[in-house]
Structure formats: C-alpha cells, structure tokens
Homo-oligomer: A and B are copies of this chain.
Amino acid sequence: MPSSPSDLAPSRSPPGAEAAARPGYRLVVEEPLALDCGISFGPYTIAYQTYGRLNAARSNAVLVCHALTGDQYVAEPHPVTGKPGWWETMVGAGKVLDTERYFLICANVLGGCMGSSGPMESDPATGKPWGLSFPVITVADMVRAQTRLIDHLGIETLFCVIGGSMGGMQVLQWAASYPERVFAAVPIATAARHSAQNIAFHEVGRQAIMADPDWCQGNYLERGVRPERGLAVARMAAHITYLSEQALHRKFGRNLQDRSALTYGFDADFQVENYLRHQGITFVERFDANSYLYITRACDYFDLAAEYGGALANAFRGTRTRFCSISFTSDWLYPTSENRAIVHALNAVAANVSFVEIATDKGHDAFLLDEPEFFATLRGFLDGCARHRGLETP
C-alpha cells in the first residue's frame, strides 16, 4: 500500500532521488519491447497502482489510462504533491468507477516520470539518466507495454479500458490493436489523431523547455539543474488550452489579484495571471521536462487511421467491444467534431457505440471535474456492460 506523502523527499530535490522512494507497484519486464521507432527496448519498468479486488473470474478489471501529465495515482494522495488523486471524483467505493465492484489498474505510461521507464530513469548501459537518448515512444508503444502488465496480472480480457485526452488515445489504440482483450472501451474528450493546432501548442511547450539554458540539451539531471522556467511556461501555455474561454471568464474575468487598482507594472495584476503562474510553478515540482517532451511527441505522432491504411473505420472492423464516446461542448482542444469522427468510424463498421456530448462550459478539463451528466452517462453505460459481462452488483 502507498506510504504517506510525508515519507518522501522534499518535492524540489532532484526527481531521480525521489523516484526510488515513490510508493506503489513496479513490474520489471525482462523481454524487450519492439518499439514503433524500430528499437528493441528492455528490460523496462512499469510503475502502477491498483484499487479494489480482482474477482475470481478475473472479469472485473478496469484499466484507467492517464493523460499527458497524469500518472498512476488515480484515487489516492499524490506522493510528491500530497494532493488528492487526479480522478477521485470518479474512482472509489460507491463512485462511478466503483472500487467495491471493479478492480482498477492504472500504469504510468512508458516515457513518464513517476516510476515507469522514461528519460528521467537511468540507462543501465551507462548508469546515467537516459535524457534524450531514451527512445521516442508512441501511444501504441505505451499500450504495448501495458499489455505486459495485464498479462502479468493474469487478466485475459479487460472489462473496460477508459481514459480522457491522451488517455482516450490509449483507449482507442487498445480497442484497435487488442479488440479481444477489451470488453468495453470509453474514450473521453479525445481524438483519433492529433490536429495541426494541437501539434502547434505542443511544439510551443517543447520549444519553451529547450530554450531554457538549464535544459542542457536534455542532460540537466547530470548537471544537478532543472529547466524549471521553461517547463513552467510550457505548462502555462498548455493549461490555457485545457480551459474554455467561458470558464476563464466565469472564474476570473478581468478581476484583479489582491489589489483594488491596476499597478501599471508587470506583476500579476489580474487573477488569471496569478492562477497561470501558480499552475506553472506547481507543475515543475512534480514533472520531468524531458518526459514532457517525450509524451507530447507521442500525442503528436498519434494518427490511428494512418496505422490502418488511412481509413479509421478499418481500425475497428469486426470489433465486438462496446464503446461509449464522450465529448464536452466547450472542449476546444479535442472538440466534439474529433470525437464524432471516432463515432462515425465505429458506425461504419456497425460497432456497438454510444455517443454523448455533455453540455458544460468547463472546457477540456471537464473530464476531470464533477460533471453530473457525465457521471450519470458513464454509470449507465458501465452498469449495462457489467450486466452483459455477468458482473454482480456490489
């Protein structure tokens, strides 16, 4: 079981030092993984957390796929920040992803920085952090690694694979590559391919990191520094895309921060400036800059149709997986049109698919927030699937 966050080193120490102290499970896979880039990679580590109990029939496992800057601490305090798990609204006893009913698994993605093999970890060949010598990974690689974890846990077929944003990309990849292992799939607020605008925003973030002299061409860990300023700017730019204009207006508008008049300077006069700066500062405490490069790259490279001759429908031909696709009206990062394209492809192969667009002004981040209609939709879908899967009610 996870130890308490207070056992951990202070968050600002070099992340390498913390990694060993991070609570949770580690699976070391000896057999190399054939990566999309052509490299045979291994041994490698998958860090993961589980919640609930696997039933005797091994039929109640739910794989939660995390988003770009998420991790495996879905429903427990984060070991670095001490903040609640990123999906505690959704996951827990009696919640939509009910830990009394389902066995939940979440693995830090390959390339991540919370214990799975990634650029922050040491290359066994050199004993030094991988840095940019870590191979570029794809969403398919992430999913390929996850199959080894699911094998290890003795699970043949996952009851459900679920995730939002980049997590949703993994869901789609699972359903396309391993249809027989996915009973139900819930891609949320996602896309079957990364758009030009999304690539552009990611490129800004990468350039912000690489522009920081403390990035040291990726070798900052060896030098005992971190490109914190660049990473904070990357996070700030990205964070704007996670919120809708309406949400920003509702939350902040042009309200001033702890002052009654403009100061005619470059301090954070406006609440929205203060909020963004805070987002940047807190992010660098828990995230590795090189991981940010690798994981954004994996998103950019994602283009599921391209893997299937250019027609997305081919990715799902013959599938028996039950799909529930969910989008949010004010999400401009992965707008409803992108989610609808997935549904059209599924319809084209007569797949079993529900599609719900949730009305909300909360933007892309709505999938992480308390959205009653979203929860009700998911609960209904999962209940139906559970009945078909023969899972008893808790």
- Interface residues of chain A, those whose CB is within 8 Å of chain B, are 36-38, 132, 135-136, 193-197, 199-201, 203-204, 206-208, 210-213, 229-230, 232-233, 236-237, 240, 243, 245, 248-249, 251-254, 262, 264-266, 268-270, 272-273, 276-277, 280, 293, 297, 300-301, 303, 332
What's the nearest-Cβ distance from chain B to residue A258, in Å?
Answer: 16
A233 to B249, Cβ gap below 8 A?
A: no
Given contacts A240-B204, A265-B136, is CB(A197)–CB(B248) below 8 Å?
Answer: yes
Bound-complex Cα distance A287 to B269 (A): 25
State in angstroms the CA–CA spacing of A252 and B200 once bound together. 10
Question: Is B273 a contact partner of A199 (Cβ separation < 8 A)?
Answer: yes
What residue in chain B is nearest A38 (Cβ atoms)? Answer: B264
Task: Pick from B37, B199, B201, B272: contact of A196, CB below 8 A.
Answer: B272
Q: Are B240 and A197 in contact (CB under 8 A)?
A: yes
Q: Which single member of B194, B203, B262, B272 contacts A200 (CB below 8 Å)?
A: B272
A277 — which chain B residues lie within 8 A by C-beta?
203, 207
Are A193 and B254 in contact, with the CB atoms below 8 A?
yes
B196 touches A252 (CB 8 A): yes
Contacts of A264 in B (CB 8 A): 36-38, 135-136
A203 near B254 with CB under 8 A, answer: no
Q: How many copies does the complex hold?
A: 2
Interchain CB contact under 8 A, B196 and A248: yes
How far, in angstroms, from A107 to B50 measured CA to CA in the complex? 64
Q: List 11 A-B contacts (CB under 8 A).
A: A37-B264, A132-B266, A135-B264, A196-B248, A196-B270, A197-B245, A199-B273, A200-B276, A211-B229, A245-B332, A262-B301
Contacts of A254 in B (CB 8 A): 193-196, 199, 303
Residues of B close to A262: CB separation below 8 A: 301
Given A204-B276, A233-B233, A254-B303, 4 extra CB contacts under 8 A: A195-B248, A196-B253, A207-B233, A262-B301
Shortest CB-to-CB span from A303 to chain B, Å, is: 6
A102, B201: Cα distance in complex, Å = 42
B199 touches A272 (CB 8 A): yes
> Whole-angstrom distance from the CB of A389 to the nearest CB of chain B?
37
- Give the distance in Å from the alpha carbon of A339 to the alpha carbon of B277 in the complex: 29
Quick one: which of B135, B197, B211, B273 contacts A212, CB cutoff 8 A? B211
Distance (whole angstroms) from the CB of A101 to the closest CB of chain B: 40
